[in-house]
Every structure is written in C-alpha cells, then in structure tokens.
Chains A and B, each alone.
Chain A
Amino acid sequence: MQIVVCLKQIPDLQQIRIKRDTREPVLEGLPFLLGDMDKNALEEAVRIVEQRGGKVTALALGSPKLRDTIKEALAMGADEALLLIDPAFADSDTMTTAKILAKAIEKREYDLILCGEGSTDNYSGQVPSRLAEILGLPQVTYVRQLEFTEGGLRATRDMEEALEIVEVSLPALVSVTSEISEPRLPSLIQILKAAKKPLQEWTSEDLALSAHEVGKEASSLEVISNLAPEQERKNITLEGEVDEVVEQLTDAFTREGVIAR
C-alpha cells in the first residue's frame, strides 16, 4: 500500500498577536507546526502501513522552514518526505497549491492519498477536492473511520445529520476529520531515527511548472484585507466574594436587559 499524505505547515496560531491599533495579525517569528488534521491523516496512514505493509510518503509544499517542520512527520512514522520548495511557489492559493501537489503526486506511484479535511489556518477544504479532480480520482471526504475491503475501502463519513458508510475502490483520495485518530507523540528514538530517513526536494523546474503557472501570479484569489474582527467589549471584571459577584452579575443582567424577567 503506497500512501501519500499531504501536509501543510502553519504558524502556531496559539501564539499569534494582534496589533491593537490596526487589528493586523503578527505572524513574524512564529514557529511552524503541521496542520492538526493533516497529522490525523498521517497517523492513520502510518497505522495502515504498520498493519498492511507499504510506504507512507509525507508530501508538503511551503517555505524552506518545511525542512524543519517535516521532521515531526518523519518521527511520527512517515517513511520518506517529499518537499516542494521554491520561491516561485510563495503565495499560492488553493488552486495553485492543488496544481503543484498534483504534479508531484503524478510522478509517484500511489494507492491512496490522504489529506486533512481542512487546514488549521484557513479551513477552506478546497485542496482535497481540487486534487481529486486534477488526478481524476474518486474522493471520500470527512472520514472518521477507514477499513479495507476486498476491492478497496470502506469509509465512515461524518456528515451533518448522519454517518454515511461508503465503499470505493483504489486509487482514491480520502480526507479525514480529527476523530479518525490520535496523532502519536514520537519517542526520542523515533525522533533520532527520523534524521536518517530519505528526504527529497523538488522545485518548480523538477515539476515542469513555469514561474507564471504558480505562486501569486497564477493565484485565483486576491486578499484585500485580513484583520481581526472588531470587538467592542466592556471588559468589566466583577470582584468580591461569591455572593457579591453573583449580585453584581444579576444586576448587570437586568441593566443590560438580556434576560426576560
């Protein structure tokens, strides 16, 4: 079983700072992490290969920082990493990202492509669908449980009103939700071993993509602003003994007219 897992590196959003005056996010200097659900996908892939044999390739597109970020994927059990790094790739949108990833995947043999349902930062969920379309694959999204059958896969999709059990033959593209797995914390030995695993890098040239087919120039979207939403809040801290704060709060409820009584 050859599995390609697509992973995105994302600045640690817990540490993000918002400029008070302009409401702009400050991303400089934030450490990069792998996307949460991407890690769920990777964990699932590693488990499958542990049980059935095969190989897990961690595929990622991003800045040179990826060389560091991807180590976690190798430590978690990916057999090799394939990094797509090129200044020309910067500011790629979902459409160009899918295009670049697809070019890389096409150069590989695979049975299954696994992605997270959405990225931790933008959660747009577009890359899995777009990838499946480019590669001409059937897609099974929002998967919280995966089993193998004679001819392919049986997957449980987590839809709004129902769990939907579906079957598909391979090759296929599957996107997963966080319920599918609990990403393992690699041991020290695994971390050390990861350093010796094969890591390959490709640029736009390796993928036969010209500079105007990728990155900002080829992007289908333009971001005109990206600011923290305005929140005008009173920020009143109620202080005192429990009885006093409770009294102050009920007074506030009445004053604000927020509860009917």
Chain B
Amino acid sequence: MAEILVFSEKDEIAFELLSKGRELKEELCLGLAAALLGQEVEGRSSQYFSYGAEKVYLGESALWVDFYVETYAQALQRVAEEGGAQILLLGSTKRGKELASRVAQKLGAGCITDVIGLRLEGDGLVADRYALGGNTVASEVIKTERKVIAVMPKTFEAFPLEDGEGQTVHLDLELPEPRVRVVERRPKEGEAVNVEEAEVLVCIGRGLGAEEDLEMIWELAQALGAEVGCTKTLASDFGWLSEERIVGLSGKKCNPRLYVGIGISGQIQHTVGILGSKIIVAINNDPQAPIFKIADYGIVGDLYEVVPRLAERLTPP
C-alpha cells in the first residue's frame, strides 16, 4: 500500500507528524510509516509505534554521527521509493528544511516548507505557509505525484495511542561518506528560555536606548509574571539578549494570553510571531508605528515614562 512517510531528526516532531498522519491516512487510504535514521535507533521504534506508525524503517549506520543532508536525503529517497511513499512529512527545522528540499529534488517532487497548517480539501492536500515576508498566508497544493511537506514544530499536537504495534523494516543502506565533515560543534549557551510557551510575553525593541535599561523591562516582566522576548535587532545586532528570545519570522512564534510590545515598530517579520496572541498591547512614542494597527490596546508615549509607572502599578506594595 502506498504510504505517508514521517521523518524528523527530533523525535518529538516526528510524533507530532505521526499524530497528524493518523488523521490523514484514514481519509487518503494510505499506510503510515516512519524512518528512524541514526545510531542505536532500534530501541526508539516502540515509541514510534505508540504514536501510530504502522511500519518503522530502521537505518543504523556509523555515518549518521553527524547529520549530513545529502546522506539523509539519499536514505529517505530509497525508503520513499521502495515503500511507495506518496507524502513525506518532515519537520521544518533548519535541518528538516534543507533535507526536505534536497530529497524533493531527488524524487522530482514538489515541496512546501515552513508549513503552519495542513488540511484536505476536495481530493487535495492544502498546506498553509507565510508568504510575502509574512504579510500573507499562502495556501498551496503540490501537483507532483509525490509530495514533500516540511511542517513547523508544534503545529500539530502529539498524542499517543493506548497501544501501538507495527512492523520493523531494517534498511540495508550503502551510503557514501559525507562530503561535508563536521570538525567541531559548539553548543550555544542556550539560556533555558522558552518564549513560545509563555502565557504573558513582554517584548522589547530598538526603542530601548541602552542595554542597562533592560533592567526596567525585567521589572515589568516580573510584575506581570511574564517572559521577555525581543526583536531581532536587539539580539542579533546588539547582542543585548540571547537569540533564543527573538520573536518573529526567524525567531519564535508565540501564542500568549497577553503580549506587550515596547519600543517595537511592528515590522511584519516581528509581528508574524505574535498574531496568535489573545491580547496585544503596544507602547510606542510614534503614533504612526505599524504595531498600533494590530494592537488591541495602544499607548502612544515614551517607554521610559510608561514602563516604570506600569511596573510600579502592577507590583503589590
């Protein structure tokens, strides 16, 4: 039977995709399979079954120490061709995106990356993604027989089955040595911060005049029980906050109950990350700032006056 093939280098994303795959396979009358490529992967297959994989392709190889996209693409191409995969669901991480495109090219398949929604309409699978720099959401269908779709992490909820069993297929892969060698990996001093999960999010932008002034932003965040996020400028250009805190197109997509944007102009690359907020508050001294167009409550004023007063008002005596 033709199948849906799920792969992500991150198990948690593979489980999200499998959970969605269970829904799609019913409607499309397809099988649901997953590929596990790496070292010592066999032990993980039972978890994949519990998320609905009917078949798990196991590829054990010493070559998997480092993720080299060409090698993974070759392996996935083989699995897809031999198993008759019609739809490849991958995670739209950085590695997932480059892999999706490379394997799609190998398969002569159309591909959509950064997918934020997937649904069946008529006979077709429709994928949503941001387009025009985040100004619009494009809904697209893939016309080729095989379809490669890379889905943003956390787009679907992962929910396990009560019991799940399936078949294991051992792959006998003969793969060439990777042409790119990893000589060093320097973990980012990843602050353990998770702005995506925050219920209340205070975001700060270039309106802040100096790094020391972050102090008052932290005070406000504390008074609100909020996490602190920022625009790209503050992290990538100024280095005042870690890149983990960037909200937007190249940063995190957030759905807080309350978002407070301070000294942020509201460029689309930032605001795509906050559209899921329940309430948006903007504090900016320029009444023309685009952020006011998408705000529920706007304060036109100097952040240096408003923020300390607000923090004080919200802090219990």
Residues of chain A at the chain B interface (Cβ within 8 Å)? 13-14, 16, 18, 25, 27, 93-95, 98, 120-130, 132-134, 138-142, 154, 159-169, 178-179, 219-229, 231, 233-239, 242-243, 245-247, 249-250, 252-253, 256, 258-260
Contact = CB atoms under 8 A, between A and B. Distances in A.
A81 B140 CA distance: 33
A249 to B, nearest CB: 6
A224 B139 contact: yes
A95 B110 contact: yes
Contact of B95 (A93, A159, A163, A219): A159
B306 interface: yes
B86 interface: no
Contact of A233 (B102, B280, B300, B313): B280
The 9 tightest CB contacts between A and B, nearest first, are A220-B110, A129-B101, A138-B179, A133-B105, A258-B258, A126-B101, A13-B133, A165-B184, A234-B296
B313 A25 contact: no
9 contacts: A129-B100, A129-B102, A133-B73, A161-B188, A179-B236, A224-B140, A225-B138, A231-B294, A250-B314
B132 A166 contact: no
A84 to B, nearest CB: 19
Given A25-B135, A125-B101, A166-B183, A220 B114 contact: no
A22 B202 CA distance: 32
Interface in B97-151: 97-102, 104-106, 109-114, 126, 129-133, 135-144
Contacts of A243: 309
Contacts of B188: 161-163
Contacts of A179: 236
A256 B297 CA distance: 11
Contact of A161 (B131, B187, B294): B187
Given A123-B249, A226-B138, A253-B258, A220 B102 contact: no
A76 B237 CA distance: 22
A103 to B, nearest CB: 14
Nearest to A138: B179
A127 B93 CA distance: 16
Contacts of B278: 256, 258
B143 A220 contact: yes
Contacts, number: 224
Interface of B: 69-70, 73, 93-95, 97-102, 104-106, 109-114, 126, 129-133, 135-144, 179-188, 190, 200, 224-225, 236, 249, 257-258, 267-268, 275, 278-281, 292-301, 305-306, 309-310, 313-314
A226 B183 contact: no
Given A139-B102, A221-B141, A242-B301, 18 more contacts: A16-B135, A98-B105, A123-B133, A128-B98, A139-B70, A139-B180, A141-B69, A163-B188, A164-B186, A167-B181, A220-B142, A221-B110, A223-B138, A223-B140, A231-B294, A236-B297, A236-B298, A258-B200
Contact of A163 (B186, B224, B299): B186
Contacts of B300: 237, 239
A254 to B, nearest CB: 11
Nearest to A14: B267
A231 B299 contact: no
A73 B2 CA distance: 47
The A interface, classified by DSSP as helix, strand, loop or mixed, is mixed
Nearest to A10: B133
Given A95-B105, A223-B138, A139 B298 contact: no
Contact of A165 (B102, B104, B132, B185): B185
Contacts of A236: 296-298
A164 B185 contact: yes
Contacts of A94: 101, 111
Given A222-B143, A236-B297, A130 B114 contact: no
A121 B102 contact: no
B135 A228 contact: yes
B135 A130 contact: no
